Structure 1
Amino acid sequence: MSKLLGWYGRLGLATKQFIYLFIVTLLLVMVLAWRNLNEAESLLRNQVVRDAELLVGRTNQYIDASLDNVENMLLLLSTRADLLEPGNEEQAFDTLRKFANYNNSLAKSLYIIRADGQVLANTQVYYEIIGNPKLPELYELALQNYGAINVSEPYYSPMSGHTLAYVLPVTDEKKQVKGVVAAELNLDSLTERIAPMIYQSYILFSKDGNIINRLDSRDKLLPIRQGEFPPVLQDGFRERLSDLKVGVSSIRGVSDKPLVAVKTTTNRLGWSLAAFIEEEYFYKDLQQLNYNYRTASVVWVIILLFSAFLLSRSFTNPIRRFVEKMDRLNDVQVVAKLPVTRKDEIGKLTQSYNAMLERIQSLLQKTKSAEEQKKEYELKMLRSQIAPHFLYNTLACISSLARQQRTDEVRETIRSLVKLLAFSFDKQSEYVSIEEELEGLRMYMHIQQVRYGEQYRYRLDLDPGLHAYRILKLTLQPLVENALFHGIAPRNGGQITIKGRLERGIIRLYVRDDGVGMSCGEARRLLDEEREQERSKYRFTGIGLRNVHERIRIHYGEPYGLRIGSARGAGTVIRVAIPALTETDEQMGVLS
Structure 2
Amino acid sequence: MSRISLLWNQIGFKIFVASSLIPFAVVFVLGSIAYSYSIQTLTNNEHDKINALVSRTDELINDSILQWRYAFSNMSYELTSDDFSPDALQTWADQQVYPPHSQWAAWYLLTPDGMKYATQQRPEEWSAHHRSVYNETVDSARDLVPTGPYMKAQRGATMTISTSIVSTTGRIGVLAAELDLARLADELTKWNRDPDISMLLLNRELVPLVSQLKLHQQAYNSLRPELNEWLRSRPTASETIATEDSRYLAVKSAVGFQDWTLVYFTEEQHFLAKIRALQQGTLLFTLVFALVMLLYSYQLARYINKPIRMLVRQTQHIQRGNLQARVRLQRRDEFHTLNEAFNRMLDRIEALIEEKTRIEVQKKHFQLKALQYQINPHFLFNTLNSITSLLDLKRTEQIPVVITSLVRLFQHTLNKDKEWTTIAQELAALQQYVELQSIRYSGIFRVQYMIPQELYRYRILRMTLQPIVENAIFHGIQEDQAEPGLITVGGTLLEDGSLLLYVEDNGCGMPPEAVDKLLSPQDSPSQASEPRKRLSGFNSIGLRNVHERLQLHDGAAFGLRIRSELGKGTRVDIRYPAIFIEVGEEHTP
Pick the TM interval, shorter chain.
Answer: 0.3 to 0.5
TM-score normalised to the size of structure 2? 0.44
TM-score normalised to the size of structure 1? 0.43
Higher alpha-carbon Rg = 2
